[in-house]
Structures are given as C-alpha cells and as structure tokens.
C-alpha cells in the first residue's frame, strides 16, 4: 500500500503547476480526478508538440501526457449553475481540492472557501496563483519568467553583468515553486485535518515559492561586510565566477561540468589533468580565476567528452558530462534506477508505448494508467458520488458534462 492510498483529490487546475503537484500526490498513491471544462478542457492537452491523432483523439501534448498519468477526467462547466451544484455535491467524497484560478474567481462563481467548507468541513483547499491570494498583485497576470524576475532568481542567471540575464531552462516557478510546494503543503494540511477534523486553505504563490529557493543566498547577503557589493551573475562562487565550478568544452564540441569545490576534489582533478596541486587556487582573485579557467579549458579541448568520462570514471573529482535531454534516457545511472519506464497498464499493450518519467517518490515498477481522454471518466466519477442516471442525463442535456 502506498502512503496516500485512499486519499481522493479533486483537481480543478490546468497547465503545469497544479497538475505537477497532483502528479506527485498520484505517485504517492492518491486518486486524482481532473475537473475540466466540457468545451476545451485543460489547455495543456493541445499545446504543441502533440502526438499523432487517432480516431476521436486529436493527439495529446507531450507535456499533458507526462503530467497526467493515472488520473481520471470529469467534465463540469463551473460557469453553469448546475455545474457548480454538481461540484458541491462531489465535495464530501474528496479530501483535497486543488485550484489555480486567479484569486477571487471561485468567490465570483459562488464557490468561495466558506461555501466549500460548508459542504466538507475537513476539505484541504490548495490555491495556486502567481502572486498570492492577497496583496497588491493578487489579480495580476504573470508567467514563469516574471516570477523568476521578481523573486531575484533571474538576475543571477547569465554569464556576466554586462549581458542580459538568461531565461531559465526549466519552468522553475511552475514545477518547483508551484507544484512541489503545493504537494508539501497538502501533505501537511492532510495531517492537520486528520488530527482536528478541520480543513484549511493553502496559499501557494509562484513568485514567493521561487524566491524561497534563494534563501541561502539571502542569508549570504546578510553577512556581507559593510560596503561590500553583492555578487553579480557570472561572478559568484556558484554562478560561474570560479574555475573549479564551471563548464568546459571538449574536443567534440560537447561539454563537461566541473564542480571540484573542496580541496580534495580540486587535488584529484589536477592530478588527473597533470597540473600542480595548489589548494590556494580555490581562493584566487577574479583575474586569476579567468587565467585558471583558460588553462583548464585548453586541457579539456584535447579530448572528447567520452574520453574524459572514461578518465574520470574512477576519480573522485566531481566531473560529469553535460547531457542533452535526449541523451538522459540512455545514461546508465538513470537506466539502473528505472527513472524512465513504460507507462502502459497491464493488458493495454495494444495502445502503444507510453514513455514516462518516475518522480523520486514513485515506487519502481509500479504499473500506471494512461492519461485520460477529455471527460472519459465523467459518468463513473459522478456515479461514485451518488448521482443517478437521471441526474447524469440531465447534466449531459445541459452540456454541463460530457
């Protein structure tokens, strides 16, 4: 039995933050039911690139497939009074509700927190928004790049202060600040609800969640000597300012990551490279770091990435290849730890291969279901909550569900 077996989650969210958070809950054993608009559904379904269409299936976005395995899909039009009534009728059968509307939207629909808790006092409501449920930016639109900018993360990304900051290569706010913080908050709130019988609302701000990843760096700012300028991008210890912690090109145009921060790793690195072992180089000033980097770069250009991999395989020097996403699947580490797996459920081999990525908390070799088609589970979910066939036919006639 998995840790969250028996926990039922009603997921009203779309795109990436909420669905990633509920993917984590699903990998822990929770039953996640997506509530989607009957006309469009989760926008992520059709965002390119999409897979090939077949029959009535228009072809799903690769991102949607990756984030929505094991989930079920229920269509409800929450703009329709009957859709809202149906949602409230479902609530006693769930432990968690996740939503990512702008603050105030659920209130305007008549589905505010007090109404939700009136129908299920122990319900955990997780609200994910760009800038939080209150404050001057509560209704402001934003995307991952904006949250990285306002949190201070973006300013640290890039080769030098003279160049513009680089957009981050992952959706840090959506996945880390939104999805992961949401999952952690839900787990804590479930524990509280179990102990007290009282539900709660979790206010997840994507901007604040992103800012939280800078907690160590804000700590550093507090201890800088008076008048000392804050480290700039490309110049700090962990942002490219040190030769011992950098990325180097190899002779075949590929790259190696070198993170020999400690004296023992720096010594091991230089022993392999045939350089004198001098721990004081780790504390050398910026102009000497540039000279060190140039010297190391000249050495690394003498061999291919694969040759350096073989050389450093038996050396404790914190040197690893820079893999492209298309290479990651085939690396022996990820293969042995079963990070990538075939997501087809048993007996569904005819549906084609469904490559999936295991979250760190998902048990290995656990079968999983395919992501749901739009509204494919509407009838089953409504029936589980006590809706009669006449009730369901009524909702279908009004196009509140499908």
Report phi then psi at 252, rounded to 5: -95, 15
Cα–Cα distances (Å) from 332 to 22, 247, 264, 327, 367, in that order, read 29, 22, 26, 11, 22
Measure the CA–CA gap between 3 and 221, rounded to whole angstroms: 40
Burial 119-144 (b: 16+ CB within 10 A, else e): ebebbbbbbbbbbbbeeebeeeebeb
Residue 119 in tokens = 């129908």
Q: Specify whether the CB–CB gap between 125 and 97 falls below 8 A.
A: yes
Separation of first and last alpha carbons in the chain: 33
Measure the CA angle with vertex 69, ends 67 and 74; round to 5°: 95
Run of H or E residues at 73: strand 72-75
Run of H or E residues at 195: helix 181-196
Q: Specify whether the CB–CB gap between 232 and 238 falls below 8 A.
A: no
Measure the CA angle with vertex 385, ends 382 and 390; round to 5°: 55
Identify which of 181, 157, 151 has the alpha carbon closest to the alpha carbon of residue 169. Answer: 157
Measure the CA–CA gap between 178 and 65, rounded to whole angstroms: 19
What are the helix and strand counts (H, E) for the chain? 17, 11
Q: Specify whether the CB–CB gap between 324 and 273 falls below 8 A.
A: no
Positions marked active-site? 143, 174
- In SS3 terms, 286-308 reads as HHHHHHHHHHHHHHHCCCCHHHH
Strand-strand pairing, 319-321 and 255-259: antiparallel
| CA atoms within 13 Å, Cβ hemisphere of 176 | 17
Residue with token string 């589980």: 384
Residue with token string 């949250």: 147
């Amino acid at each position: 039995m998995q840790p969250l077996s028996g926990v039922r989650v009603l997921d009203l969210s779309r795109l990436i933050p909420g669905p990633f958070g509920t993917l984590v809950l699903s990998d822990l054993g929770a039953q996640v039911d997506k509530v989607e608009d009957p006309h469009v559904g989760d926008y992520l379904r059709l965002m390119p690139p999409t897979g090939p269409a077949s029959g009535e299936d228009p072809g799903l976005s690769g991102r949607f497939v990756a984030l929505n395995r094991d989930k079920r899909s229920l269509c409800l039009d929450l703009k329709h009074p009957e859709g809202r009534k149906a949602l409230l009728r479902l609530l006693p059968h769930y432990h968690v509700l996740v939503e990512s509307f702008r603050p105030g939207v659920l209130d305007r629909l008549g589905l505010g927190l007090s109404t939700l808790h009136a129908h299920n006092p122990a319900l955990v409501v997780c609200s994910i928004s760009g800038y939080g449920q209150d404050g001057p930016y509560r209704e402001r639109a934003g995307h991952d790049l904006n949250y990285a900018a306002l949190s201070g993360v973006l300013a640290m990304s890039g080769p030098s202060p003279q160049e513009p900051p680089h957009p981050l290569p992952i959706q840090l706010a959506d996945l880390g600040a939104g999805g992961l913080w949401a999952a952690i908050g839900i787990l804590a709130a479930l524990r509280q609800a179990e102990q007290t019988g009282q539900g709660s609302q979790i206010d997840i701000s994507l901007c604040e969640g992103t800012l939280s990843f800078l907690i160590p760096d804000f700590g550093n700012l507090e201890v800088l000597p008076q008048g000392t300028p804050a480290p700039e991008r490309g110049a700090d210890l962990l942002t490219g300012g040190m030769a011992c912690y950098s990325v180097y090109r190899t002779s075949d145009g590929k790259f190696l990551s070198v993170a020999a921060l400690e004296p023992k790793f720096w010594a091991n690195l230089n022993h392999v490279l045939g350089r004198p072992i001098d721990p004081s180089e780790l504390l050398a000033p910026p102009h000497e770091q540039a000279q060190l980097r140039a010297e190391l770069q000249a050495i690394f250009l003498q061999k291919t990435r694969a040759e350096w991999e073989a050389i450093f395989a038996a050396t404790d020097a914190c040197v690893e290849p820079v893999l492209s996403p298309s290479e990651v699947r085939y690396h022996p580490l990820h293969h042995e730890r079963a990070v990538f797996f075939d997501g087809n459920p048993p007996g569904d081999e005819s549906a084609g291969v469904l490559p999936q990525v295991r979250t760190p908390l998902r048990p290995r070799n656990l079968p999983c279901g395919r992501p749901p088609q739009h509204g494919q589970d509407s009838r089953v979910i409504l029936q589980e909550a006590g809706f009669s066939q006449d009730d369901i036919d009524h909702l279908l006639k009004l196009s509140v569900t499908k």
